[in-house]
Amino acid sequence: MMRLPWFDYRAPRTVAEAAKILAGEGPGAMLIAGGTDLLPNMKRRHQTPKVLVSLRGIPSLKSFSNGSGVAFGSGLTLTEVIRNEKTPTALYQAAAQVATVHLRNSGTLGGNLCLDTRCTYYNQNHEWRKAIDFCLKKDGDICWVATASKRCVAVSSTDTAPALIALNAKVILEGVPGQREIPVENLYRNDGIDYLSRKPDEILTQISIPGGWESTYWKLRRRGAFDFPILGVAIALQFSSEKIIQEARVALGAAASRPFLLEKASEFLKGKKLSDDVIAETSTLIASRAKPLDNTDMDLYWRKEVADDFAGYALRELRGDDMRATRLRIARFAV
Amino acid sequence: MSTQGKLRVIGKARRRVDGRAKVTGLTRFADDIVLPRMLHCRLLRSPHPHAEILEIITGKAEKLPGVHLILTGKDFPVTFGIMPVAQDEYPLANGRVRYVGDPIAAVIAKDEQTATEALDLIEVKFKQLKTISNPEEALQNPEPRIHDYGDQGNIHRIQSYEFGDVDEALAKSDHVFDDLFFYEGNTHLPIEQHASVAAPDGEGKLTLWSSTQVPHYIHRALARALQMPASHIRVIACPNGGGFGGKCDLHNHEIVVSRAALKLGRPVKICLNREEVFYMHRGRHPVLMRMRTGVTKDGKLTGMHLQTLLDGGGYGSYGPASTFYTGVLQTVTYELPRYKFDACRAFTNKPPCGPKRGHGTPQPRFGQEVQLDKIAEKLKLDPAELRLNIVAKPDTLTANWLKIGTIGLAECIRQATARSDWKKKFRKMGPGRGIGIACSSYLSGAGLPIYWNKMPHSGVQLLADRSGQVTVFCGATEIGQGSDDVLAAMVAEVLGMDPYDIRCVTGDTALTPVDLGSYSSRVTVMMGNAAIQAAEKLKAQIAEAAGEQLEVIPSRLSFSDGRVFVTENSNKSLSFKEAVEFAEVKFGTLGAVGSYTPPRAPGRYKGAGVGPSPAYSYSACVVEVEVDQATGWIAVPKIWIAHDIGRTVNPVLARGQVEGSVYMGLAEALMEEQVFRRLPPKMSHALVHKIPSLLEYKSPTSLDMPEIDTILIEDPDPNCPFGAKEAGQGPLLPVMPAVANAIFDAVGVRIDELPITPDKVLKALELKAAGKNPRVGPERFPLVPYPKSIFVLPPWEGGDGKESKRDDAVAVV
Amino acid sequence: MAAVPQRVHLKFLVNGEETPVSFAPYKTLLEVLREDLNLTGTKHGCELGECGACAVLIDGEPHLSCLVLGVECEGRRIETVEGLADGAELHPLQAAFADLGAAQCGYCTPGILMTAKALLDKDPNPSRETIKEAISGNLCRCTGYQQIFEAIEEAAVRMKP
Ligand SMILES: Cc1cc2nc3c(=O)[nH]c(=O)nc-3n(C[C@H](O)[C@H](O)[C@H](O)COP(=O)(O)OP(=O)(O)OC[C@H]3O[C@@H](n4cnc5c(N)ncnc54)[C@H](O)[C@@H]3O)c2cc1C
Ligand code: SF4
Ligand code: FES
Ligand code: FES
């Protein structure tokens, strides 16, 4: 049986209290929300926090509000996000395809955004990693994916982040000195080790999403459940009454160490209609930014080759094409 | 007084006798056992693929509070291995490790957490050796030898058999097809991780509860490994949470906890974690194949020359048998006048391969069935028709002297094609959609045990007493397939009882007669025949006593619904309980035994022992696919499978075995692979399992499974109990080639290697678009130093089943 | 780490019974159930969230007990396979699973039964698609799932008042 290492457990009742514990304990303390990412990592000794600061008992993180847009407390579970009728399409589609039913019942939206980066050289037991003499990300000094690289290139594997970036969402981070709000894309750094711009004492408390977007999320993975994305394409558009694109935001997940906004492709779409040509050109633009590496499931050249197809699916769906059969074949259930 | 007539239990859809326990959480798997004063064991495993151990320093670990014992190779001077010819493993490494995961030391502590902490405190000094990462490297590097035994260098087994002059047959053929195939290795992945509990009893003897499919083999091997009389060892096979062949070896940890329990005088438990289960492996060998087949212009086979190269991993395991199985069953499906088979198993620094569902035969089956599809395409024949035309005949011998009895394959093909609307779909489904067919056959039990002897393969003992209860004792092991249910059903049918009134005591070497275990699909046939024999004996005694009471001769009595009655006058009757009372008065304490030994096989050449079976099962499978031409993405909407089962004992379970086989076959076809990562050799010796986890080793979820239409073909086999053949392995075999053939029908590309993933399909589609050969698969077969063949004349060329000089053949032709 | 207690003492509510339990605080619910409450009906195949064998219900929803901290379980309603039957009377799901071959080796069965119970409690008439989705987080290596789908459908029928 894989077991957790010893830890001390704290259950603050407020965000301020949690921030204070984090600040006081320093790097030895870690937040735990649903635990579905942190606990496997602890069992594999990726993270061995001295103190676990649980967010479960903080009622404010379970809030939801609905005005001009929507705002989710970071402690809402993915199941709660899915069941909420106000959840924008792309976020719904992303959340509904995370992991499994059980994991979505435990896993939170905040935890999903702060998910550790992944790599098949890293997401292994301690014993296994010993056999490769570890790697840059933890306990070693070589990156086995790119042996010349000084930087860890582990993959951002959160499904909801690209969806939220496309939806132009913002997150609130609250630390001891106070809180700040930043766009979701700014939460991330393109570094497999230091992948968040969150400060050590900060807690992600809220995710707010403006209204008015038509959006979609397409996830590539091997099986219909469990599997992390090996490519995530999220697109949000605002159309004029003549179906001309006014605003566009395209984001990719599982294509680098961070989920990111594709400015060029987004800019390209503005003022255009979704003709076949525009879709083809945009898809190529999008695919050119996907730079898969050999550290996830499936062949990396193939992942590169199909990126434009996936982008095309997303755009065609937003145009109003009936993509249900394709969706079913890829997601293996009606998303 | 016979087993003929209307069957009351056999063939009825019923809840299995152990069904209730399985749904209430009461089935006690090995890890569920908790004993007073029990300690916990964990193993330190090698981080290196190939190394000498210079020193093991355990001092710090010994001092950790809560640690009771540390064992190393020094505590285990004797080798072990499941086959007598491959005694090449040590419970804990004896100076040498051969794969990442090879056990080196064991810690026994008050709990698992403490044992794990102690592992980190053990220091091992190694001298690394050259890593041999695949069979080609093994062939190129006879040194350093991974083992100091084996046929040569790093070749474990190398052999060649020829049944009739194949070169001549090919030369005379209208066409010769020469194809290369590769079948990647994969593993069993039972959801239950191996667990064992060992405990000394009051007399100091040992009991081992374990998740094993083969308690008898474990019992024998453990006696040797512990250098202890078998009479002082009791092995209890707990119900397995899935086996599929992965719990057929004696495993290091079973010996280690046994030794520890004896040393400490306390129970010791171990439960492997998932990564360790991947290291125990003994799964599907990766096999590279070259298959040259001659055909006439109307699609009859004239001869086949098969060459295989197996990646055996670091130890022997069942490898010698696996090596044979990659060839011997090529002859039992279709008429094949001449056959040559060269095989080579190499040692490499990876977890050892062994038997997985279909043991050694899925790989060449894949090649043969895909090649048949290519033959049909070339000859412009319908592949289903082509197969129907060449189906082997019942009650015949094959070129390699295997005896085929009943064969329902033609009916399987007819039903599978009819139900799938084959004729309307084949080559007519339009772009991106396709349908494919493949067939197969499998053993209903291996004809010989893994250690040579002439004793029964299965024994059953029955106890009946005045309470009216009947208890059946048998060494067979429940691994999910329903062996207890078959046992109860056989006895109940003969004695006219309700199967739920029969108690099964199974898989316990102290209490139950020997049964060789749950492997090679042998249980239904062998245990079933033994059970019928025992039940008939008991029935005869009861009938004799009851006949006296009812004043009729025993042959006029019937046993049914818990009563014994005069066949023509059911009012003259006794309850079963009353009848047993009279029998106990007449004969004293009642009991009966039955046993089964398979018929002697006709082949007389050395090596003829692998392949014979009391009966062969047959299957035909049709698969429909949808392939996206832009991405290569594959969807499988539906699978039809017809299986020649002889007779169905319990349709609920039979269907479950067939559908479970299809599941595993589809997984092997599309996603499963046990693959390894070699780090850049200039920087590291590392060779690690790429994905030892349930997340990254892909087993399909409920969303990934198509609908399966299962068709059971009944053609009772006289060698089998009530005619019942196997159903647990055969139906896996045709699935992979049927998928490959369907993909060809859909998009016109050949993927000659497994698994078939979207990237390979896309690559082949790109080749096709470029006007090149639209095929992805192995490109070359290395030079393998196969020896001169053992030459045997096929039955129809005047042979006697013995090895003969090749010149004899020339004389005949 | 001197500050960490060797054991914690909590009250669990398992299968409707309130039980005091003491355990090492690093343990997950899975370990507490199996090792400290002797409820070995709940199984495990990975302990990393990758198989579903350890699924139990917490406040009526299926969760993976291998990824739930024991120290976070006080005050939550936990249901395991041991509590599914009503005395000697099997739950319709259990009966249908046994009758229709949905449990082969039976190792994935407790997790699937509990997951299916949560489904039927919410949706007494699930479609085949809904069933497939609901148990897609439970790997079964034996059955190919078809007989499991059928058993859940049969149980739904049998549960009709
Ligand atoms: C088998 C398996 C499959 C999975 N598949 C997917 C998948 O397909 N897609 C996917 O996106 N994820 C997947 N996951 C990962 C995980 O289940 C989800 O990402 C989940 O949403 C994580 O949320 P959590 O609350 O459980 O996070 P936790 O494990 O509690 O936390 C994750 C990380 O975030 C930090 N954290 C949590 N909350 C906060 C906060 N409020 N502020 C700051 N930091 C915080 C934690 O310290 C920790 O480092 C999978 C996990 C498993 C085990
Ligand atoms: S990308 Fe490189 S450094 Fe990062 S986890 Fe993978 S192997 Fe390690
Ligand atoms: S044991 Fe919990 S998911 Fe596998
Ligand atoms: S019945 Fe064996 S794993 Fe599901």
Which residues have a Cβ under 8 Å from the Cβ of B178 and sit 6 or more positions away? B290, B291, B292
pLDDT at B1: 34
Nearest chain B residue (CA) to A127: B47
Provide the shortest C-alpha distance from residue A38 to chain C (in Å). 9
Eight-class DSSP state of B691: -
Provide the shortest C-alpha distance from residue C63 to chain B (in Å). 17
Residues on chain B touching A144 (C-beta within 8 angstroms) = 679
CATH number for A206: 3.30.390.50
C82 close to ligand 3 (CB < 6 Angstrom):
no
Q: With the CA atoms of B547, B552, B558 and B563 taken in that order, what torsion angle do they form, in degrees rounded to the nearest 10? A: -50
Question: With an 8 Å Cβ cutoff, are C49 and A5 in contact?
Answer: no
Cα gap B100→B109, rounded to integer Å? 24
Pocket of ligand 4 (CB under 6 A): B 191, 242, 480; C 103-109, 140-143
| Protein residue with its CA nearest to atom 4 in ligand 4 | C140
- Estimate to the nearest angstrom the gap between the alpha carbon of B428 and the chain centroid: 37
Of A131, A222, A330, the CB nearest to B698: A222
Report yes or no: B29 and B192 within 8 Å, Cβ to Cβ: yes
pLDDT at B5 over 70: no
pLDDT at C2 over 80: no
Q: Which atom of ligand 2 is nearest to the CA of A153?
A: 1
Report yes or no: A62 and A137 within 8 Å, Cβ to Cβ: no
Handedness of CA B689, B693, B696, B697 (dihedral sign): positive
pLDDT at A277: 98
Residues on chain A touching C49 (C-beta within 8 angstroms) = 36, 39-40, 99, 102-103
Ligand nearest the Cα atom of residue A151: 2
Q: 7-66 in A: which are within 8 Å (CB) of C?
A: 7-9, 11, 32, 34-36, 39-40, 43-44, 50, 52, 54, 56
pLDDT at B590 over 80: yes
One-character DSSP codes across B755-797: S--HHHHHHHHHHHHTTS--EES----------PPEEE--GGG
Pocket residue to mutate for ligand 1, from A9, A22, A30, A31, most atoms within 8 A of Cβ: A31
Strands of A58-152 (E only): list them: 64-66, 70-73
Task: Report the percent of chain B where pLDDT is more than 70.
Answer: 99
**What tens digit of pLDDT does each residue of C93-138 get?**
999 999 999 999 999 999 999 999 999 999 999 999 999 999 999 9
One-character DSSP codes across A236-272: EEEE-TTS-EEEEEEEEESSSSS-EE-HHHHHHHTT-
Nearest chain B residue (CA) to A121: B690
Domain count across chain A: 1
Burial of A10 per CB tally in 10 Å (0-12, 13-18, 19+): middle
Chain A with chain C: Cβ pairs closer than 8 A:
95
**Residue at A40 is within a domain:** no
DSSP β-ladder status, B502-506 and B676-678: unpaired
Cα gap C18→A173, rounded to integer Å? 39
Provide the shortest C-alpha distance from residue A179 to chain B (in Å). 37
**What tens digit of pLDDT does each residue of A2-26 get?**
999 999 999 999 999 999 999 999 9
Ligand nearest the Cα atom of residue B23: 4
Provide the shortest C-alpha distance from residue C28 to chain B (in Å). 13
Domains in chain C, CATH or no CATH each: 8-83 (3.10.20.30), 92-159 (1.10.150.120)
pLDDT at B813 over 60: no
CA nearest to C77, candidates C62, C95, C90: C62
Q: Which atom of ligand 4 is nearest to the CA of C105?
A: 2
**What tens digit of pLDDT does each residue of B158-175 get?**
999 999 999 999 999 999
Question: With an 8 Å Cβ cutoff, are B704 and A131 in contact?
Answer: no
Eight-class DSSP state of B634: E
Of A40, A44, A102, the CB nearest to C52: A102
Q: How confident is the model at residue B807 (pLDDT cuts 50, 70, 90)?
A: low
Of A1, A124, A226, the CB nearest to B701: A226
Which residue type does B779 have?
E
State mean pLDDT over B305-327: 98
Q: 96-125 in A: which are within 8 Å (CB) of B?
A: 120, 123-125
**Residue at A17 is within a domain:** no
State mean pLDDT over B358-363: 98
Question: With an 8 Å Cβ cutoff, are A7 and C134 in contact?
Answer: no
CA nearest to B677, candidates A145, A314, A65, C143: A145
Eight-class DSSP state of B21: H
How crowded is residue B411: how many other Cβ atoms within 10 Å of its Cβ?
A: 18
Cα gap B461→B455, rounded to integer Å? 16
Domains in chain B, CATH or no CATH each: 39-129+191-242+247-280 (3.90.1170.50), 160-186+283-447+605-776 (3.30.365.10), 455-596 (3.30.365.10)
Q: Which atom of ligand 3 is nearest to the CA of C43?
A: 1
Q: 66-125 in C: which are within 8 Å (CB) of B?
A: 80-82, 84-85, 90, 93-95, 97-101, 103-110, 113
Q: Mean pLDDT score of chain B, rounded to an integer? A: 97
Cα gap B216→B228, rounded to integer Å? 15
ipTM over 0.95: yes
A155 close to ligand 2 (CB < 6 Angstrom):
no
- At residue A30's C-alpha, the angle toward residues A24 and A34, to 5°, is 140
Q: Please tell me if residue C130 touches chain B, with a CB cutoff of 8 Å.
A: no
Q: 752-771 in B: which are within 8 Å (CB) of C?
A: none
**Residue at A45 is within a domain:** no
Report yes or no: A249 and A166 within 8 Å, Cβ to Cβ: yes
Cα gap B385→B372, rounded to integer Å? 11
**Residue at A50 is within a domain:** no
**What tens digit of pLDDT does each residue of B459-472 get?**
999 999 999 999 99
**Residue at A6 is within a domain:** no
pLDDT at B6: 86
Q: With a cut of 70, list the residues of chain A below it in pLDDT.
A: none
pLDDT at B292: 98
Cα gap C43→B25, rounded to integer Å? 9
Report yes or no: B322 and B309 within 8 Å, Cβ to Cβ: no
Q: Which of B29, B698, B751, B756 to mutate to test the interface with A (most CBs of A within 10 A)?
A: B698
Cα gap C88→C110, rounded to integer Å? 17
One-character DSSP codes across B641-681: EEEEEES-S-HHHHHHHHHHHHHHHHHHHHT----EEEPPT
Chains in touch with A (3+ beta-carbon pairs under 8 Å) read B, C
Strands of chain A (E only): list them: 8-10, 29-32, 51-54, 64-66, 70-73, 170-175, 178-183, 203-209, 214-220, 231-239, 245-253, 260-261
Cα gap A39→B534, rounded to integer Å? 54
**Residue at A112 is within a domain:** yes
pLDDT at B473: 98
Cα gap B264→B278, rounded to integer Å? 29
pLDDT at B647 over 70: yes
Provide the shortest C-alpha distance from residue B700 to chain A (in Å). 7
CA nearest to B50, candidates B124, B145, B119: B145
Provide the shortest C-alpha distance from residue C1 to chain B (in Å). 14
Eight-class DSSP state of C34: I
Q: Which atom of ligand 2 is nearest to the CA of A122?
A: 5
**Residue at A226 is within a domain:** yes
pLDDT at C4: 81
pLDDT at B808 over 60: no
Handedness of CA B15, B16, B18, B24 (dihedral sign): negative
Q: In the 3-class helix/strand/coil scheme, how is B464-522 assigned residue by residue?
A: ECCCCCEEEEECCCCCCCCHHHHHHHHHHHHHCCCHHHEEEEECECCCCCCECCCCCCC
Chains in touch with C (3+ beta-carbon pairs under 8 Å) read A, B
**Residue at A328 is within a domain:** yes
State mean pLDDT over C35-62: 98
Question: With an 8 Å Cβ cutoff, are A131 and B47 in contact?
Answer: yes
**What tens digit of pLDDT does each residue of B465-506 get?**
999 999 999 999 999 999 999 999 999 999 999 999 999 999
Residues on chain C touching B191 (C-beta within 8 angstroms) = 43, 45, 51, 53, 105, 107-108, 139-141
Min mean pLDDT across B290-294, B683-687, B773-777, B806-810 is at B806-810
Q: Which atom of ligand 4 is nearest to the CA of B191?
A: 3
Mapped onto helix, strand or coil, the DSSP state of residue B532 is helix
Nearest chain C residue (CA) to A97: C133
Full residue range of the structural domain in which residue A102 is found: 59-335
Residues on chain B touching C42 (C-beta within 8 angstroms) = 25
C47 close to ligand 3 (CB < 6 Angstrom):
yes
pLDDT at B810: 47
